[in-house]
């Protein structure tokens, strides 16, 4: 039995405008489309998640799509901070990056990433990968906000 679909709240952490646009377009083509928020680097991501500065009213995301290679604070550093913070560590983090390097994959899982997905180079593959992530977290996985205690 499929669970009731709800609007997924997704935070994209990626400094590449073109990749972000492709992610957003793929997500918005899904039904129901999620609420999508974007920050362009790791420092902004931490401010957003901790509701600091311009992000005091930011919604807690149901899912984080995290690039690894960013200025100021890398995706590895963001992942380590998120997963070591009691208030944030239950948020699923999918590393969505161009890297195929075994050290990046291993480091991501060591820091408790929920998944590691290499961005496909072709547009159709890229959109399909993003839709699969969205469907899994929206239709299959049970998230902390899905059930009341």
The pLDDT tens digits for 13-65 are 999 999 999 999 999 988 888 999 999 999 999 999 999 999 999 999 999 99
The pLDDT tens digits for 75-110 are 999 999 999 999 999 999 999 999 999 999 999 999
Give the helix ranges, DSSP H, for the chain.
17-28, 42-49, 75-84, 102-110, 123-135
The pLDDT tens digits for 51-77 are 999 999 999 999 999 999 998 899 999
0.85 exceeded by pTM = yes
CATH number of 9-140: 3.40.50.2300
Structure-token pair, residue 112: 């408790």
Tell me the pLDDT band of 146, cut-offs 50, 70 and 90. low
Query: Where along the chain do its domains lie?
Result: 9-140
């Amino acid at each position: 039995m499929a669970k009731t679909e709800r609007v997924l709240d997704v935070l994209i952490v990626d400094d590449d405008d073109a990749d972000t646009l492709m992610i957003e377009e793929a997500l918005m083509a899904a039904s129901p489309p999620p609420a999508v928020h974007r920050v362009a680097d790791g420092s902004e991501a931490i401010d957003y998640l901790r509701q600091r500065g311009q992000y005091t009213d930011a919604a807690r995301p149901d899912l984080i799509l995290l690039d690894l290679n960013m200025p100021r604070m890398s995706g590895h550093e963001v992942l380590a901070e998120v997963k070591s913070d009691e208030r944030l560590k239950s948020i699923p983090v999918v590393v969505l990056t161009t890297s195929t390097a075994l050290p990046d994959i291993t480091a991501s899982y060591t820091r408790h990433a929920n998944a590691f997905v290499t961005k496909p180079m072709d547009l159709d593959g890229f959109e399909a990968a993003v839709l699969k992530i969205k469907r899994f977290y929206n239709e299959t996985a049970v998230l902390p906000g899905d059930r009341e205690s």
